[in-house]
Amino acid sequence: MTVSSAPGKVYLFGEHAVVYGEPAVPCAIERRARVTVERRDDDRVRVNADDLTLDGFTVAWGGEGGVPELDVPSNLVEAAMGYLDGAVEQARDAADAPAAGLDITIESAIPLGAGLGSSAAVVVAAIDAAARELGTELDREDLADRAFRVEHEVQDGEASRADTFCSTMGGAVRVRGDDCRRVEGVDNLPFIVGYDGGAGDTGELVARVRALRDEHRFATDTVEAIGDLVREGETLLRGSEAPLDELGDLMDFNHGLLSALGVSARSLDAMVWAARESGAYGAKLTGAGGGGCIVALDDTEGAKTALDYTPGCEEAFRAELDTDGVRRES
């Protein structure tokens, strides 16, 4: 039996624009998906996922396997199945064991589809644990690349490398197209996350931005403006001590530009404003948008308390920067 875990992430800057070749800076957070894998005697794959969302589900496939009754939105389950199927294929390929059967158990503290990189964390941890269970240790570059290929396929070719690279490597990372690297020297950023209990459909939101960009020059300019602010943010991060007030201003700006692209939501705006008015350095939605999470920069208890009292905010928590990335637990 092997166990790996991988962290979720927040976007300090740059989601959506990264799909069009602009840079982005996601940061791994100490909320993990943990995947346990045990080899089976047959060629079936059985997945047990208790915490993938608020209610769990169990799915078996391969052989005669069928899909039991499900109590979570079917699009999320279909996506989760696609990610796991892809992860199993990658592990089998890496280990040259195309017909290996596996029992997979997923425990995740990262809500699905909420902008915290749940799918990337599950895929990274699943490939790592499954490959080791089948006798192969992947280096991190290979693992990140295989996890990206899974996301890319499930998201119809629209995924960037940001989530999977960040979850594999940990820390603050900078991603632009295929060029992915750690931003060295960033070991602490005071993140507060607010979660509205909902989820956005990443594929649909990415398609919406693409359509807007195809139709309007201003949308292309907005995407480029996000790229410009990410470059400024990166320069700040690479300085000896990142100035939180200036990073916060850029986060506010980034949220405004994402709103202009139509990917915010009333609940996200309400949480962003609650965090800002409580004195946070800055706040923005994180991930694809449409619902899910915001991230604020705040080194006091103010933003968390304000979010705890904000109607529509289901949960608020401090999220420590994770600097480990994927972890081999056993």
Q: Which residues are catalytic?
A: 163
141 Cβ contact list (under 8 Å, min separation 6): none
Q: Report the SS3 class of residue 273.
A: helix
Residue whose token pair is 């905010």: 313
Q: Report the SS3 class of residue 162.
A: helix
Biggest CA–CA distance in the chain, Å, is: 58
| Closer by beta carbon to ligand MEV, 16 or else 176 | 16
Between CA 98 and CA 82 the distance in angstroms is 17
Reading the block at residue 274, the tokens are 């609650």
* 282-285 and 191-195 beta bridge pairing: unpaired
Burial class (CB in 10 A: 0-12, 13-18, 19+), 216: exposed
Q: Which amino acid is at 282?
A: G
Q: At its nearest, how many Å lie between ligand MEV and the CB of residue 19?
A: 5
The footprint of ligand MEV (CB under 6 A) covers 15-16, 18-19, 159-160, 162-163, 202, 206, 287-288
| Closer by beta carbon to ligand MEV, 101 or else 227 | 227
Between CA 280 and CA 314 the distance in angstroms is 19
Q: At its nearest, how many Å lie between ligand MEV and the CB of residue 75?
A: 15
- Number of residue whose CB is nearest ligand MEV: 160
Taking alpha carbons only, the member of 15, 20, 22 closest to residue 228 is 22
| Closer by beta carbon to ligand MEV, 18 or else 88 | 18
Q: At its nearest, how many Å lie between ligand MEV and the CB of residue 115?
A: 6
Count how many Cα atoms sit within 13 Å of the Cα of residue 315 in the half-sphere of its side chain.
Answer: 13
Between CA 51 and CA 295 the distance in angstroms is 22
Between CA 191 and CA 193 the distance in angstroms is 6
Q: At its nearest, how many Å lie between ligand MEV and the CB of residue 7?
A: 14
Kindly report the backbone phi and psi dihedral angles of residue 328, in degrees, each rounded to the nearest multiple of 5, phi listed first.
-90, 105
Q: At its nearest, how many Å lie between ligand MEV and the CB of residue 292?
A: 9
Q: At its nearest, how many Å lie between ligand MEV and the CB of residue 24?
A: 7
Helical segments of 27-161, H only: 74-95, 118-133, 140-154
Size of the chain, expressed as the number of residues it contains: 330
| Closer by beta carbon to ligand MEV, 36 or else 118 | 118
| Closer by beta carbon to ligand MEV, 163 or else 298 | 163
| Closer by beta carbon to ligand MEV, 159 or else 169 | 159
